[in-house]
Structure 1
Amino acid sequence: MDYQLNTRLNGNIAMTSRFHESKPLQRDKTLYKFLWVQGGTLTVEVDHIPMKLEKDEIITLTPLHHLDIKEVEGEYLAFVFNSNFYCIYGHDDEVSCNGFLFYGSSRVMRLKLSEEQSSNLRDIVRIFRQESAVNDNLREEMLRIVLKRFIITCTRIARTRFGVGRENEQTFDVIRRFYVLVDSNFREKKQVRDYADMLCRSPKTLSNLFAACGLPSPLRVIHERTEAEAKRLLLYTRKSAKEIGSILGFEDVAAFSRFFKKMTGGSVSDYRKQAQREELPTVTE
């Protein structure tokens, strides 16, 4: 463990190159995570989806994602924090990462850093380490400021990747708010019109905005978020298909089964059996 701080208000922030060896951090289901490969490769599974990361690649994960580090063949850095330390919802006007860097779908943000971008992030990490060594009553707030700088830098890198500039910043903000709303309401609201009304836009306008940015359609976003949650419940709980369908807002188990097969090409029972054959960790309620 390079550094970890637990605050009096249950805030938690940590920076470590040994996340795969830290059982307490792995068990903590409240953490937002940056996983940055600094040399060699890192093989992980996110929500049971395999991913091999190479040097200067970063992925960002929410507390909803299930991370399993399979193989470390190099060096990586995990930078993790919870909402009690820094709330990305409450400070959305500061960092603009909610619904962009951090979103509940299994389609996670994956960034490839240039040499300059990598150097900038290394500078921030160096400052974090310097501040973590200062034991005074200002340390916590200084670490919060450094974390915010790291988040903003990654947000800017992601914006560059998606071609977000001043000319289309408003469009980007509408799309980002759509993702945030879907994350909060996908169980109850499954139509694009529901979200268009909340954003004071028409469904057609939303569809045009997503198409202009080369993104999946708004309806596809809603469906993928629902699919991701369905898979998590199937993989990591013992809930029945009927219970999961009810949790996700489907009228009955038949409607849920039709949706799942349309999205994945297979049945609910086959998906769970396949997961069990691949020897997933013991499920919990």
Structure 2
Amino acid sequence: MTEPDPPPAGVAQALYDRRDGRLALEVVDAPAAELARPHRTNYFTAYWVRAGRGTFHADGTRHPFAAPCLLFLTPYQAARLDPDDHLHVTAVRFHANFLCVETHHHEVGCNGVLFNDPYGPPAVTLDESTEREVADLVARMRAELDTAGLAQAELLLSYLKILLVRATRLKRGQQGTAGGGVRLPPPLPELRELVERHYRRLHAPADYADLLHATPKALGRLVKQHLGKTLTELIRERVLNHAKWELLHTLKPVKEVAREVGFDDELYFSRLFRKATGMSPTGFRAFETDVRGGSNLSMPSARPSIPPPPPTGQNADRPASDPPEPGA
């Protein structure tokens, strides 16, 4: 059994592991004192901020927030919430074992919008109507978790998908704006296109400044002002999103993954990866593969994630792995 790497000093790490018997979905009221400390999980997380305001820190980036809103956190990001006044926050956390937003992106459309989005703010503002919707969905999830009735997982998954789809639609409607409805200035839309095109080989802010005919200082100031992070952090986040996907969905060696995102030095890439996730690339892959049981991955698994149905009828004597013959 693969154990997770020990967390870096100063970061509270609580990782979901199905082998502990815990559910892959939880809905909890998160204590403000706990949220104020740097913490990391391997859950996809939605924080419903019901009261209060403050600053949301994720991997060194800073974003102001004010209730009512939703804040989204991608697995393995180190985060904390600095409150300006009393916070009331409910956390909806789910592991990829419950819903992998990357593999099932077509079902909810939130990957790259709510999660794994280095270009947009992590907050979705709620009005009175949409907060009532969120409150209703959270209450339904809580009630279902308490009762454990027939088809519990199917109902919970339905409620979660509705929450994510509604939040994705809201954020898409709010994208391109910063607080107060101000349009993001050029050349930030052009910068996004350039990073998507070149992040595997261009890692220096000066490279993008040259392509945009801007000075690195002026471009960096715009990125920091409107995206809450440095241009270096933006590029690095995009690189690491790609690397994590490759580690979880392919059998490529770490050295090959490193080279694919522009790093010839595997050791330097591994240090960068560990700093961002709290785990080495090898440890990250091994732990998450064990936790997921091979589900949604291109890795061999000791058991299928969904057991095959027992053979019935005319095919009862045929091995389960053999496809039925034509016309059967």
TM-score interval for Structure 1 and Structure 2 normalised by the shorter chain: 0.5 to 0.7
Q: 1:159 maps to which residue? A: 172
Question: Per-residue deviation at 1:46?
Answer: 1.1
Q: Which has the higher contact order (CA 8 A, sep 6+)?
A: 2
User: 1:217-237 deviations in whole A, cap 9, x for unaligned?
Assistant: xxxxx97642336899xxxxx
2:69 to 49, 54, 57: 57
Gaps of 5+ in 1: 164-174, 192-214, 216-221, 233-244, 257-279
Distance 1:128 1:10, change over 3 A: closer
Q: 2:126 maps to which residue? A: 113
Question: Per-residue deviation at 1:108?
Answer: 3.5
User: 1:145-201 deviations in whole A, cap 9, x for unaligned?
Assistant: 1111110110111122248xxxxxxxxxxx9xx99x95xx9764559xxxxxxxxxx
1:66 to 71, 74, 78: 78
Give the stretch that moved more between structures: 115-124 or 60-69.
Answer: 60-69
3-state SS, counterpart of residue 147 of structure 2: coil
TM-score normalised by structure 2 residue count = 0.48
Give the stretch that moved more between structures: 42-51 or 152-161.
Answer: 42-51
Contact 1:226 1:248 in 2 (8 A): no
* Structure with the larger helix share: 1
3-state SS, counterpart of residue 73 of structure 1: coil
Partners of 2:141 and 2:87 lie apart in 1 by 22
What letter is aligned with 1:58? L
3-state SS, counterpart of residue 80 of structure 1: strand
Partners of 2:46 and 2:114 lie apart in 1 by 10
Q: 2:102 maps to which residue? A: 89
Contact 1:186 1:225 in 2 (8 A): no
3-state SS, counterpart of residue 17 of structure 1: strand
Whether 1:41 aligns to 2:53 is yes
Partners of 2:17 and 2:149 lie apart in 1 by 14
Q: 1:206 maps to which residue? A: none
Contact 2:39 2:78 in 1 (8 A): no
Give the stretch that moved more between structures: 42-51 or 94-103.
Answer: 42-51
User: 1:219-267 deviations in whole A, cap 9, x for unaligned?
Assistant: xxx97642336899xxxxxxxxxxxx97951568xxx9xxxxxxxxxxx
Contact 2:46 2:92 in 1 (8 A): yes
What letter is aligned with 2:165? I
Contact 1:42 1:76 in 2 (8 A): no
Partners of 2:98 and 2:33 lie apart in 1 by 23
2:235 to 226, 247, 253: 226
Contact 1:57 1:111 in 2 (8 A): yes
What letter is aligned with 1:41? R
Whether 1:142 aligns to 2:155 is yes
Question: Per-residue deviation at 1:47?
Answer: 1.1
Distance 1:68 1:56, change over 3 A: same
Whether 1:15 aligns to 2:27 is yes
User: 1:90-135 deviations in whole A, cap 9, x for unaligned?
Assistant: 2222111111111252743321111111111111112112211222
2:111 to 95, 98, 105: 98
Partners of 2:155 and 2:18 lie apart in 1 by 13
Question: Per-residue deviation at 1:38?
Answer: 0.5
Distance 1:89 1:112, change over 3 A: same
Gaps of 5+ in 2: 1-15, 177-188, 204-222, 224-230, 242-257, 270-274, 281-328
2:44 to 32, 55, 58: 32
Q: What is the identity percentage for the equivalent residue pairs of Structure 1 and Structure 2?
A: 21
Q: 1:259 maps to which residue? A: none
TM-score normalised by structure 1 residue count = 0.54
Distance 1:132 1:251, change over 3 A: closer
Give the stretch that moved more between structures: 64-73 or 142-151.
Answer: 64-73
Partners of 1:7 and 1:146 lie apart in 2 by 21
Distance 1:19 1:229, change over 3 A: farther
Whether 1:78 aligns to 2:91 is yes
What letter is aligned with 1:63? P
User: 1:7-61 deviations in whole A, cap 9, x for unaligned?
Assistant: 67976111122266669xx866321111121012244321123334211122212
Partners of 1:131 and 1:7 lie apart in 2 by 20
